[in-house]
Amino acid sequence: MRAIPLPTSEGVTAEVIQARLWNEHRIEIPVHDDGDLRLMRLSIQAYNSPADVDRLVSVLTAVL
């Protein structure tokens, strides 16, 4: 498990990012704001593949 900092942008909340990841890409991952810091909690299990992580990274560039 790892907390990964994400960039913040005006008008885009952690809730919006988390909802877009699920609604548009069916990726369920927690995203939280903690003061000025935005964190995504990545937890990789045995059923996740390297391709799953690659997909998350490519989708994040579009969502952020």
- Check residue 32 and give its pLDDT: 95
User: What's the rounded Cα separation, in Å, for the pair 9 and 42?
Assistant: 20
Tell me the per-residue pLDDT of 27-62, one tens digit each, with 9 for 90 and over: 999 999 988 899 999 999 999 999 999 999 999 988
Residue among 55, 7, 4, 5 at smallest CA distance from 27: 55
Token digits of residue 24: 């548009």
Tell me the per-residue pLDDT of 2-31, one tens digit each, with 9 for 90 and over: 999 999 888 889 999 999 999 999 999 999
- Check residue 11 and give its pLDDT: 81
Name residues whose C-beta falls within 8 Å of residue 29's C-beta, 6 or more positions apart in sequence: 18, 21, 40, 41, 42, 56
Q: Say how many C-beta atoms besides its own lie within 10 A of residue 36's C-beta.
A: 6
